[in-house]
């Protein structure tokens, strides 16, 4: 039952895409002039959706994500293994295949960007 509940948002996101693809196909075959002007916004919206799906994988601090971002994250972790140090800079472990856990691991990884971010956070509290 849990798998069905997790798949439901993805199915809801797929249904308008399939509708718009069918609409574009219908209009291209019946009213070519109108179909050309309809297919362009459909392709634009589809490309924006794909970009927002892949953005968290390319930049883990990206605020954009969709229902399929977790799946793309998991697939990318299976295809490309990456080690991540802990917050002390020792004991590297592979990134989690869960997107939230992996993003947390990357946020806690010891690096220069984190050091500067922590310094700014402490200074703003004073």
SS (H, E, C) 81-121: CCEECCCCCCCCEECCCCHHHHHHHHHHCCCHHHHHHHHHH
Percent of the chain whose predicted confidence (pLDDT) is above 70: 89
- Sequence-distant (≥ 6) Cβ neighbours of residue 54 within 8 angstroms: 69, 72
- What is the rounded average pLDDT of the residues 79-104? 72
Show the tokens assigned to 28.
């291209």
Give the chain's mean pLDDT: 83
DSSP at 61: T
102-115 tens-digit pLDDT:
777 777 777 777 77
Phi, psi values for residue 93, rounded to 5°: -130, 155
Model confidence over 29-68: pLDDT tens digits?
999 999 999 999 999 999 999 999 999 888 888 888 888 8
Can you tell me the mean pLDDT for 80-88?
Answer: 67
CA-to-CA distance for 88 and 26, rounded, in angstroms? 59
Which residue, chain included where needed, has tokens 């634009």?
Answer: 44
Measured distance CA(100)–CA(96) in Å, rounded: 9
Over 70: is that where the pLDDT of 73 sits? yes
């Amino acid at each position: 039952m849990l798998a069905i509940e997790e798949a439901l948002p993805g199915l809801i996101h797929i249904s308008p895409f399939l509708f718009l693809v069918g609409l574009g196909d219908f209009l291209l075959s019946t009213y070519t002039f109108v179909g050309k002007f309809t297919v362009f916004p459909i392709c634009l919206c589809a490309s924006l959706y794909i970009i927002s799906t892949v953005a968290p994988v390319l930049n883990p601090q990206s605020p954009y994500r969709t229902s399929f971002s977790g799946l793309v994250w998991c697939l990318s972790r299976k295809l490309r293994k990456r080690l991540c140090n802990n917050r002390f800079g020792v004991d590297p472990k592979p990134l989690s295949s869960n997107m939230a856990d992996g993003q947390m691991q990357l946020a806690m990884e010891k690096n220069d960007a984190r050091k500067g971010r922590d310094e700014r956070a402490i200074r703003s509290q004073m």
